[in-house]
Amino acid sequence: MSSNTNSSPITLAKRAQVLKPSPILMLAAKAAEMKAAGHNVISLSIGEPDWDTYENIKEVAIGAIRVGMTKYTPANGIPDLRKAIAQQVTEDLGIEYDATQVTVSAGAKFVLFAALQALVDPGDEVILVAPFWASYTTMVELAEGTPKIVVCDEDVDFKLTPELLRKAITPKTKVLLLNSPSNPTGKVYSREELKALATVLRDYPKLAVISDDIYNRLSFEEKVAPHLLNVAPDLRDRVVILNGASKSYAMTGWRIGWALGAKNIISAMSSYQSQSVSCATAVSQYAAVEAVKNSDKHVAATVEKLRERRDFLVAELEKIEGVRVALPEGAFYLWINVKSYLGRSFKGKKLETSADLSAALLEDQMVAIVPGLEFGIDGYLRISYALEKEKGKEAVDRMKNFFYSLK
Ligand SMILES: Cc1ncc(COP(=O)(O)O)c(C=O)c1O
């Protein structure tokens, strides 16, 4: 009888050979495994709300199942959802969008994947602003593009400046990928900063922008974070707006994301979708209509809860000697400078990088935190503070014990 083996004689395709699983999901899975084995682990790793999907949304989904809205939908999404999204973005930006300029898919992650597949040819460069969301680089590589990483450290408040943008552009540059509020820093570009970037973009009319707005409603200063198209509506035909239900409406597992833009780009993305996943889950799409249309008051309450957690945790972290925190203006992450602890020793082993620090912290104190290295810059850790205050406090206490024990 033949037995299962882990190794096939078949060579993997080159793109699969370079493919790495999401490091954040891996760390979260490891923390969950340790928890299941009975360890008292606190995970600050995954970018997921700890509060439930709002009741009104769940009720609509249950109703949709009952009346049989459970079949394939158009590849680009049900018309009601596309209409609701177009209306929301029209209000946010003061620019008219209609349902034909929207495509809906299985999470913003797949929408971004499809956008890069639709825009990037082999060898094209995609400008990524480091620190960036860990999946960007791999997605660019899967489109056979070249990530052009622009490091934006503390000196520029972790944001792209017009000077750095101009310097990064070459004849091969195809896309600039912007993310505000940012994962991992929570930083938000001001209108003035966006205006200055737009001035550079106008000099390069063949350059597309993908604006990853997934955290734009989790914003501490304004109801919706400022957008490039607020200040530069003339760029609308080359900006692909990316958003979704995961973060704003606590719907990570429903897998609904969307994009808006010029019809030819959106239509190419929809074709990509129709030949791959067919369509996003039908029930989730009906639920997302309710989320987009009728959840503003829940989102406002969530932002207040997040603000309280942010202020509390920042104050606690700042009590740890040698640790610095960049105050976030949106999303639910803290970006923590731990450079002063690099080079110290844990159990006789030198901690050279933030990845070493993160691994030792998990081993020693059972706290899972993603190392800055995964976001393209070393010397930082990223905390997701989408968790109860008491848990956050305990995690910070454990971090303090760990840092102070290093030799
Ligand atoms: C910056 C950023 N963009 C996009 C996504 C994708 O979100 P989803 O695929 O759940 O819609 C995430 C999720 O963590 C993110 O942090």
Nearest atom, ligand 1, residue 257 CA: 11
105, 253 Cβ separation under 8 angstroms: no
CA of residue 239 to ligand 1 center, whole Å: 18
How far is 350 from 352, CA to CA, in rounded Å?
6
CA of residue 135 to ligand 1 center, whole Å: 9
Q: Whose CA is nearest to atom 14 of ligand 1?
A: 47
Same domain, 344 and 287: no
How far is 185 from 181, CA to CA, in rounded Å?
8
CA of residue 368 to ligand 1 center, whole Å: 19
Same domain, 89 and 199: yes
Run of H or E residues at 35: helix 23-36
Which residues surround ligand 1 with Cβ inside 6 Å? 47, 107-109, 133, 179, 183, 212, 214, 244, 246, 252, 257
Same domain, 18 and 122: no
Same domain, 144 and 260: yes
Express each pLDDT in 293-346 by its tens digit: 999 999 999 999 999 999 999 999 999 999 999 899 999 999 999 999 999 999
Same domain, 157 and 123: yes
Same domain, 42 and 61: no
Domain that holds residue 394: 14-52+298-405
28, 43 Cβ separation under 8 angstroms: yes
The pLDDT assigned to 46 comes to 81
Give 2's pLDDT tier (boundaries 50, 70, 90): low
CA of residue 216 to ligand 1 center, whole Å: 12
Name the residue of 188, 246, 251, 277 to mutate for ligand 1: max ligand atoms within 8 A of Cβ: 246
How far is 333 from 310, CA to CA, in rounded Å?
8
Phi-psi map region of 325: left, alpha, beta (phi>0 left; psi -120 to 50 alpha)? beta
> 79, exposed or middle or buried, with CB in 10 Å at 0-12, 13-18, 19+?
middle
Express each pLDDT in 18-73 by its tens digit: 787 777 777 888 888 888 888 999 989 888 888 999 999 999 999 999 999 999 99
- Looking at 293, 327, 351, the residue that finishes a domain is 293
- Looking at 293, 313, 342, the residue that finishes a domain is 293
Same domain, 130 and 263: yes
For the record, the structure tokens of 187 come out as 């930083």
Express each pLDDT in 393-407 by its tens digit: 999 999 999 999 998
Type of residue numbered 35: K
The number of angstroms, rounded, from the C-alpha of 354 to the middle of its chain's C-alpha atoms is: 20
Give 3's pLDDT tier (boundaries 50, 70, 90): low
CA of residue 78 to ligand 1 center, whole Å: 21
Same domain, 94 and 164: yes
- Looking at 262, 293, 324, the residue that finishes a domain is 293
CA of residue 94 to ligand 1 center, whole Å: 25
DSSP-derived 3-state class of residue 242? strand
Nearest atom, ligand 1, residue 256 CA: 11
Q: E strands within 131-238?
A: 146-151, 173-179, 208-212
Contacts of 372 (CB under 8 A, 6+ apart): 131, 184, 335, 354, 378, 379, 380, 381, 382
Same domain, 95 and 216: yes
Run of H or E residues at 31: helix 23-36
Phi-psi map region of 250: left, alpha, beta (phi>0 left; psi -120 to 50 alpha)? left
For the record, the structure tokens of 15 come out as 């793109």
Mean pLDDT of 104-129: 97
CA nearest to 248, candidates 302, 194, 324, 209: 302
Q: Whose CA is nearest to atom 13 of ligand 1?
A: 47
- The CATH number of the domain where 316 resides is what? 3.90.1150.10
Nearest atom, ligand 1, residue 331 CA: 16
- Side-chain half-sphere CA neighbours of 282 within 13 A: 13
Same domain, 195 and 316: no
Query: What's the mean per-residue pLDDT of the chain?
Result: 94
Same domain, 220 and 136: yes
Same domain, 100 and 34: no
Q: Has residue 7 been placed in a domain?
A: no
Give 380's pLDDT tier (boundaries 50, 70, 90): very high
CA of residue 109 to ligand 1 center, whole Å: 6
The structure's pTM equals 0.95
